[in-house]
């Protein structure tokens, strides 16, 4: 190596930008773009607030209905008569055999509780409910069988699982009839399932509406800054560079809509809490209306922000490619 010639190694070192420095520059650029897009929005507070309010209402409607469905499921889960199975034992089964069978049923993993109603108790209940007490007293012997009342666990409380349990109990030799009144249970179960699907369809449609609203807002912003975009394209700006502030604008719209939706839902829950509690007390219940949990709050805000980001991405990607410097 001749004197005065720069070292290749030294030249490579001085010309290299470390990955840490590049990351810092990248994050600083994004922070600047995020701040700039925020400042652009607050310059038109009324228009921004109206857009965010529309987004919040569109997001709050399906989220509120989903919360209502969650409360309905909680109430229905507390009804211990929803999936009650009655096993009518054969007349020749004595008390000892019935006790042994009750212990076997109580040990099953799909049984929450099991209670035996002996012949005497069954007769007394039938006399009280039927009004035929005097006539039944004339009978020589009690014609009613021993009954075992079973409440399945929550996992097996659906109509399909309960029906399968009934078919299994019917195969037990000591059981003469296994019965489950599923008509109104099925109606309730399928009604809740129908509401759940309706909410999903509504959320899909309103989610598309949010995308369209954000996309149209970003389109107008692009048209208003068309001359600026053409100029910075002339000096070499890439589409990714131009797209970035509009993406942050959509993100701010989504976050704002999520906050508005959360405020509307929380306010509605607070407004309904007292009447619901008073109604529950009339039925000797300690039920309290449930609001959004912390994970659900996070999911709602993230979902809203994602919708805003996706809507802005689709709009800016579509319209930006049609803007070319003259």
Q: Which residues of the chain are modeled with pLDDT < 50?
A: 1-15, 80-81, 129-132, 135
Contact 97, 147 (CB under 8 A): no
Match domain 85-179 to its CATH number in 3.30.390.10, 3.90.950.10, 3.40.50.300, 3.30.70.3040.
3.30.70.3040
pLDDT score recorded for residue 126: 55
Q: Which of 151, 147, 125 is CA-nearest to residue 136?
A: 125
In what order do the strands lie in the sheet containing 111-117?
A: 111-117, 147-152, 85-89, 175-179
Alpha helices in 78-182 (DSSP H): 95-106, 119-130, 133-137, 159-170
Q: Parse the chain into domains and list their residue ranges.
A: 29-77+188-320, 85-179
What pLDDT, on a 0 to 100 scale, did the predictor assign at position 156? 79
- Residue 319: per-residue pLDDT: 78
**Structure confidence at residue 227 (pLDDT):** 81
How long is the chain? Answer: 326
Q: Terminal CA-to-CA distance of the chain, rounded, Å?
A: 52
Q: What is the pLDDT of residue 143?
A: 56
Helix (H) or strand (E) holding 111: strand 111-117
183 sits in which H/E element: helix 183-224
How is residue 235 annotated by DSSP? T
Name the pTM for this structure.
0.62
The four Cα atoms 10, 12, 13, 18 give a dihedral, to 10 degrees, of 180
How confident is the model at residue 122, as a pLDDT? 61
Query: Residues 56, 257: contact at Cβ < 8 Å?
Result: yes
Alpha-carbon separation of residue 161 from 174, 189, 194, 224 (angstroms): 22, 12, 19, 60
Give the model's pLDDT for residue 82. Answer: 53
């Amino acid at each position: 190596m001749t004197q005065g010639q720069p070292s290749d190694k030294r030249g490579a070192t001085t010309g290299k930008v470390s990955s840490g420095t590049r990351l810092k520059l990248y994050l600083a650029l994004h922070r600047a773009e995020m701040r700039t897009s925020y400042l652009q929005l607050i310059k038109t507070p009324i228009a921004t607030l109206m857009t965010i309010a529309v987004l919040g209402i569109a997001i709050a409607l399906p989220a509120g209905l989903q919360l209502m469905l969650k409360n309905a499921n909680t109430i229905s889960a507390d009804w211990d008569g929803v999936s009650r199975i009655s096993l009518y034992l054969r007349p020749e089964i004595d008390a000892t055999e019935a006790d042994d069978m009750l212990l076997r049923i109580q040990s099953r993993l799909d049984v929450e509780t099991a209670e035996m109603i002996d012949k005497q108790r069954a007769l007394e209940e039938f006399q009280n409910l039927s009004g035929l007490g005097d006539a039944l007293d004339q009978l020589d012997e009690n014609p009613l069988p021993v009954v075992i009342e079973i409440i399945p666990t929550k996992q097996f409380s659906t109509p399909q699982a309960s029906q399968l349990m009934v078919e299994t109990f019917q195969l037990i030799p000591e059981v003469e009839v296994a019965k489950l009144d599923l008509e109104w249970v099925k109606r309730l179960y399928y009604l809740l399932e129908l509401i759940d699907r309706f909410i999903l369809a509504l959320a899909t449609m309103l989610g598309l509406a949010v995308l369209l609203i954000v996309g149209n807002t970003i389109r107008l912003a692009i048209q208003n800054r068309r001359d600026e975009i053409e100029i910075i394209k002339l000096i070499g700006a890439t589409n990714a560079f131009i797209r970035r502030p509009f993406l942050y604008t959509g993100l701010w719209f989504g976050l704002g809509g999520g906050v508005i939706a959360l405020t509307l839902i929380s306010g509605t829950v607070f407004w309904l809490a007292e009447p619901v509690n008073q109604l529950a007390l009339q039925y000797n219940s300690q039920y309290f209306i449930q609001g959004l949990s912390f994970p659900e709050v996070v999911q709602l805000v993230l979902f809203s922000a994602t919708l805003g980001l996706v809507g802005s991405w689709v709009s800016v990607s579509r319209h930006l490619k049609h803007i070319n410097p003259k």
